Amino acid sequence: MTVPARKRAAVILAAGQGTRMKSPTPKVLHRIGGRTMLDHAIDAAQALGCERVVVVVGAHSPQVGEHAVKRLGEGATVIQDPPLGTGHAVLAAREALADFDGDVVVTYADCPLLTAPTIEPLFALRDAGADLAVLGFEAADPTGYGRLILASDEVLLRIVEEKEADAETKQVRACNSGVLAADRAVLFDLLAKVRNDNAKGEYYLTDVVGLAHEQKLTPRAAFAPEAATQGVNSQGELAAAEAVWQAARRAAFMVEGVTMPAPDTVHLCWDTRLAAGVTVEPFVVFGPGVSVARGAVIRAFSHLEGAAVGEGALIGPYARLRPGADIGADAHIGNFVEVKKVKVGAGAKANHLSYLGDGTVGPKANIGAGTIFCNYDGFDKFETHVGSGAFIGSNTALVAPVRVGDGAMTGSGSVITKDVAENTLAISRAGQVDKPGWAERFRAMKLARKEKK
């Protein structure tokens, strides 16, 4: 985290309707890398060292406010009702920051790719004497954006919104990202002077730039890559931002020593932790809360969430690790094995077609193909504990609550309803009956009938 020269606060705008998302979920609660866009915006503000973060929310989506309060505490939100423009939105935070002495940075909650390093140059401009610092970008297609009217590379005169722009101004490709920083008192004094006599009848935050210039203050601009400032307005743009975010995260892991032969097919989460020396094969999905220790291999088509994978463990192909799966060092979890809330000991193996839910598997135990931990009776969950070095025969149903002792075995096809003592073999199935010649007689009888017809 940066240690700023002046104190910093953030105002995050999140009062827009987000109608183009066409979703019952408020726009800024849609997720990138498994984390809401609002949380990404708060992350950036906190990484900038903002000691106060105020989220401006609309009256139309109380969930946004609740989400912000859960993360930041009471008093972290202000309501803008009705929404009368971006300038009006920032003004809604005026009271909340009345006692704050320092710089305020304004960001949007729907720009999930904006990170602290991208915004930090605004504070460098402040340090260099700019009264107002605006983050701009060179747009491939500037249509729809506010245009930065610059006197020189950095010196800003004003911002002209698309709707107010004449033909010549529309040629300008230097655009406003929406992020700006200024001293708190200066910003709110300027905002108080903003009027809504424009094409949209809105209070434009961007008008503070022209006002500042008129007052002989110095507005300046810093530039970021267009991709870093992109907003999300539709499901398509959400997916596009996700793709950018995923690519960046995967690249970072590869720099740190994670092997990914087909990175484009790996889906990460914001809190995924992969140690150096981990291999992630193609088409692996990480949900929230996964950590993988060095040397582990996550084979193709596996799905992991809320799981810890120990050193050198081998997961998949086609494995499913659900929350509470805690896989020990060098353990193997193979194809079509689902593990939920089970601690699997070091070197244990469950290689094929099993459900292990609620319990423990001891070190070096072997879980045969088709083993089921029957953990649920329709009302409650119960635990299964398999001792170290135990051998569970194929197609064993372990009806929880049940314990299989260290070194014990179960015969394949058994339904185990009682605890098995250590080093004991438990079999529960009908004994085998052999009828010599029966099959031959059966076929002869069937053939004879068929010929008669």
> Which residues sit at the interface with ligand UD1, rule CB under 6 A?
13-16, 56, 80, 83-86, 88-89, 108-110, 145-146, 159, 161, 175-178, 204-206, 231
Q: How far is the CB of 162 from ligand UD1 (least distance, A)?
A: 8
Encode 359-380: b = buried (16+ Cβ within 10 Å), e = exposed.
bbbbbbbbbbbbbbbbbeeeee
3-state helix, strand, coil in the chain (%, to 5): 25, 30, 45
Please say which residue, 231 or 287, places its beta carbon nearer to ligand UD1.
231
Q: How far is the CB of 181 from ligand UD1 (least distance, A)?
A: 15
Please say which residue, 111 or 372, places its beta carbon nearer to ligand UD1.
111
Tell me how far apart the alpha carbons of residues 211 and 243 are, in angstroms, rounded to a whole number: 39
Tell me how far apart the alpha carbons of residues 421 and 423 are, in angstroms, rounded to a whole number: 7
Check if the beta carbon of residue 382 is closer than 8 Å to that of residue 406.
no
Please say which residue, 20 or 71, places its beta carbon nearer to ligand UD1.
20
Please say which residue, 83 or 368, places its beta carbon nearer to ligand UD1.
83
Among residues 243, 18, 6, the alpha carbon closest in space to that of 110 is found at 18
Q: How far apart are the first and last CA of the chain?
A: 87
57: left (phi over 0), alpha (psi -120 to 50) or beta: beta
Please say which residue, 85 or 347, places its beta carbon nearer to ligand UD1.
85
Three-class SS state of 90: helix
Q: How far is the CB of 142 from ligand UD1 (least distance, A)?
A: 9
CB count within 10 Å of CB 260 equals 21
Residues in CB range of 19: below 8 A, 6 or more apart = none
In eight-state DSSP terms, residue 109 is: T
Q: State the amino acid at position 4 in one-letter form.
A: P
Q: How far is the CB of 57 from ligand UD1 (least distance, A)?
A: 8
Q: Among all chains, which residue has been given the structure tokens 């909650």? A: 109
Q: How far is the CB of 27 from ligand UD1 (least distance, A)?
A: 8
Residues in CB range of 243: below 8 A, 6 or more apart = none
Q: How far is the CB of 79 from ligand UD1 (least distance, A)?
A: 10
In eight-state DSSP terms, residue 132 is: E
Please say which residue, 3 or 140, places its beta carbon nearer to ligand UD1.
140
Cα–Cα separations (whole angstroms), residue 157 to 127, 216, 221, 256, 407: 19, 10, 10, 43, 79
Please say which residue, 177 or 375, places its beta carbon nearer to ligand UD1.
177
Tell me how far apart the alpha carbons of residues 100 and 117 are, in angstroms, rounded to a whole number: 24
Q: Among all chains, which residue has been given the structure tokens 């020269």? A: 5
Please say which residue, 25 or 423, places its beta carbon nearer to ligand UD1.
25
- Is residue 352 annotated as a catalytic residue, yes or no? yes
Within 13 Å and on the Cβ side, how many CA atoms surround 226?
Answer: 9
Kindly state the tokens that stand for 138. 């060179």
Out of 88, 267, 303, 352, pick the active-site residue.
352
Q: State the amino acid at position 163 in one-letter form.
A: K
Q: How far is the CB of 228 from ligand UD1 (least distance, A)?
A: 13
Please say which residue, 188 or 204, places its beta carbon nearer to ligand UD1.
204
CA 197, 202, 205: angle at the middle one, nearest 5? 105
Q: How far is the CB of 330 from ligand UD1 (least distance, A)?
A: 49
Q: How far is the CB of 345 from ligand UD1 (least distance, A)?
A: 50
Q: Among all chains, which residue has been given the structure tokens 């150096």? A: 276
Three-class SS state of 373: strand
Strands 285-286 vs 303-304: parallel, antiparallel or unpaired: parallel
Q: Which residues are catalytic?
A: 352
